[in-house]
Amino acid sequence: MRIEHPAAGLWPSLALASVAALWGATFLLTQMGMDGAGPFSIVALRFGAAALILAALRPQQIRRITFYELKAGILLAAVALVGYGAQAVALQTAPSARVAFLAALYVPIVPVIGLVVWRRPVAAPVFIGALLALGGIVAMSHGGAHLGLSATDGLAALSAVSIAAEVFLLGLVMRRADPLRVSFVLVLAIALMAGGVASLSGEAAPRWDGSLLTVVAIFGIGTAYSQTIMGWGQARISPERASLLYATEPLWAGALGLAVGEALGTGDIVGGALIVMAVGISAMRRLPALPLPLRRSLRANRQSLLETGNGAR
């Protein structure tokens, strides 16, 4: 029997952690990019650059796109555009860390969609994660004395619902489709749709400078990198471990926001921490077992209560 060394999954884990960090950085990058472009324009540029790089990396594979993959990619893009557009609009006035924390609510929302659509039972980690996420929202609404969530926060929450729907649909689509080809259709369709919304809403043309070019280039390279690394990493470590690594996305976003001096109140930090905990717990298949001494203590206490109750009768 071959015994796998504990460090065998180190490099794949670090690679997937870098993907989560990159996802976390997209909130701050979007905010920086909007110095030279409107919210939907920056979404169009972001995904347009990603489409160009994916096409350059795998041209032969992309030429084999099927009609089903084309339809699926366009449907996913329409759903995803709501989320990415709402995020970009919210980032015009809200700190990137706060938007990232609220957008991360998609993790506990995905199983809820499964419950509503397929009547799948909600596992204990998801239920606990949902309660923690609710506590995080209350903390971010100024302690819950009144509902202090703004319209901007509502947009961030809307993006979470949209991304949750995208994740749920993606799980159905990938049963019959090639991931790379669907990803290409998805990013290209988002770019075209976002460009159309930007034009119809009267957004000014992007002001090209070194900063905007850098942001767009990082977005394009980052998306191509993520698509490649996710497939490589998840072939080498368990889905449960990968999910926990992806769940660190809002933590990276919050750390980057604080590093650049974003002003976050105590409620934001406490609420964000609760949401990060909710995301991490929701990504677990099951709750970890309690330590053996604690389990023995609980069993002893339970037995003592039963004996006391029997004696009273």
Encode the chain (313 residues) as per-residue pLDDT tens digits: 334 444 456 788 888 889 888 988 888 898 889 989 999 999 999 899 989 998 998 888 888 999 999 999 999 899 989 998 998 998 888 888 778 777 777 766 766 777 777 666 666 776 777 777 767 766 766 544 444 567 888 888 888 888 878 777 876 777 778 878 888 998 999 999 999 999 999 998 898 888 899 999 998 888 778 867 876 776 676 655 666 677 677 778 878 887 877 766 777 778 778 877 776 776 666 655 545 565 555 565 555 544 554 454 4
Quick check: helix, strand or coil at residue 265? coil
How many CA atoms are closer than 13 Å to the CA of 25, on its beta-carbon side? Answer: 13
Quick check: helix, strand or coil at residue 150? coil
CB atoms within 10 A of CB 64: 9
* CB of 76 closer than 8 Å to CB of 155: no
Q: Is residue 2 in some structural domain?
A: no
Residue 268 CA, chain-centre distance (Å), reads 18
> In which domain, by residue range, is 271 found?
10-311
Residue located via tokens 């006391």: 308
Q: Is residue 258 in some structural domain?
A: yes
CB atoms within 10 A of CB 242: 21
**pLDDT at residue 38, as a whole number:** 92
Encoded amino acid at 165, one letter: A
CB atoms within 10 A of CB 219: 25
Residue 32 CA, chain-centre distance (Å), reads 20
Quick check: helix, strand or coil at residue 34? coil
The CA distance from 159 to 165, in Å, is 10
Counted domains in the chain: 1
CB atoms within 10 A of CB 233: 22
* CB of 111 closer than 8 Å to CB of 126: yes
Closest residue by Cα to residue 278 from 239, 249, 242: 249
Q: Is residue 251 in some structural domain?
A: yes
Q: Is residue 3 in some structural domain?
A: no
Reading the block at residue 129, the tokens are 């994660």
Burial of 136-157, coded b for 16+ CB within 10 Å and e otherwise, reads bbbbbbbeeeeeebeebbebbb
CB atoms within 10 A of CB 109: 23
Q: Is residue 1 in some structural domain?
A: no
- Using alpha carbons, list the distances in angstroms from residue 121 to 116, 161, 233, 253: 10, 19, 29, 31
Q: Is residue 5 in some structural domain?
A: no
Dihedrals phi, psi of 307, to nearest 5 degrees: -65, -40
Q: Is residue 271 in some structural domain?
A: yes
Residue 217 CA, chain-centre distance (Å), reads 21
Burial class (CB in 10 A: 0-12, 13-18, 19+), 73: buried
**pLDDT at residue 294, as a whole number:** 52
Residues 6+ apart with CB under 8 A from 293: none
Q: Is residue 52 in some structural domain?
A: yes
What pTM value is reported for the model? 0.73
